[in-house]
Structure 1
Amino acid sequence: MEQEGVTLEELKKKMADFAKERDWDQFHSPRNLLLALVGEVGELSEIFQWKGEVPRGLPGWEDEEKQHLGEELSDVLLYLVRLSDICGVDLGKAALRKMELNAIKYPVKLCKGSSQKHTQFNGDSGDTAGKDQGH
């Protein structure tokens, strides 16, 4: 039976229970989780590495390829959720706040249809501490 949707809070609890049942909390330091997350991002990257530009919806991909992609995306998400939990960060709230900040940094009237960094269209002097664009 497939769930219709899952919250970050549910994932956080399931990951905490999963780690506790296996006595893995001792290994789940922020550093270790971050390194595991980076490793999973690498595995995710390998799926796309030699495919060139891939169109939305992944036309032409086999079901097995899409399943593998889903597994690697899930690994990244689960480590991210676990890392945020261990660090005491409410990931949902942090993501919503970041979207609000990005809306200010990238106002629709100045950036619609453009891939320019905010420093290129709003006259900022320099990058804000090297932060990403959020898109």
Structure 2
Amino acid sequence: MADETMTVAQLRQAMQQFVDERDWRQFHTPKNLAMSLAIEAAEVMEHFQWLDPTEASEYTLDPARREAVADEIADVCCYLLSLVNALNLDLTDAVLAKLVKNARKYPADQFRGRSR
């Protein structure tokens, strides 16, 4: 599995190469990328919109559905990586910093097993 061997930096570079080969950097403004990211996330959500929890859990057991959902999730990731590139953010630093903030906001001993 590539998740085990490829770094975030390598994914960012691959995404930037894809964009640059098509001369799309001119269109990859933070506004456009943020909007596209939200649109693609909504396309993931659309697959599960009217399913009950059991149906949603079983939805991707069908290979065609699994591929369709994977494609939409990949689109979300591509736009996220492009947005990170456009803003020159360090994604790993941002995620780790947010986890620290969330750990303070939601201490495990107070929120374990709770959805709120």
What TM-score, normalized to structure 1? 0.77
Would the alpha carbon gap of residues 57 and 9 (structure 1) be closer, same or farther in structure 2, given more than 3 Å must change? farther
Matches of 1:60 and 1:95 in 2, distance apart? 27
Letter in 2 for 1:62: D
Provide the residue aligned with 1:8 in structure 2.
8
- 1:36 to partner: Cα distance: 1.0
Larger Rg: 1 or 2?
1
Would the alpha carbon gap of residues 43 and 60 (structure 1) be closer, same or farther in structure 2, given more than 3 Å must change? closer
Provide the residue aligned with 1:126 in structure 2.
none
Provide the residue aligned with 1:131 in structure 2.
none
Matches of 2:60 and 2:20 in 1, distance apart? 41
Letter in 2 for 1:97: A
Task: Answer yes or no: is the 8 Å Cα contact 2:59–2:66 preserved in 1.
Answer: no
Matches of 1:98 and 1:115 in 2, distance apart? 18
Provide the residue aligned with 1:40 in structure 2.
40
Say if 2:115 is the partner of 1:115. Answer: yes
Provide the residue aligned with 2:78 in structure 1.
78
Give 1:51-70 correspondences, 5 Å limit. Answer: 51-54=51-54, 58=58, 61-70=61-70
* Structure having the larger proportion of residues in helix: 2
Matches of 2:62 and 2:6 in 1, distance apart? 26
Q: Which runs of 5+ in 2 are unaligned?
A: none
Percent identity (aligned): 35
Larger RCO (alpha carbons 8 Å, 6+ apart): 2
Say if 2:92 is the partner of 1:101. Answer: no
The alignment covers a number of residue pairs equal to 115
Would the alpha carbon gap of residues 77 and 54 (structure 1) be closer, same or farther in structure 2, given more than 3 Å must change? farther
What TM-score, normalized to structure 2? 0.88
Matches of 1:60 and 1:86 in 2, distance apart? 32
CA RMSD, Structure 1 to Structure 2 (Å): 1.9
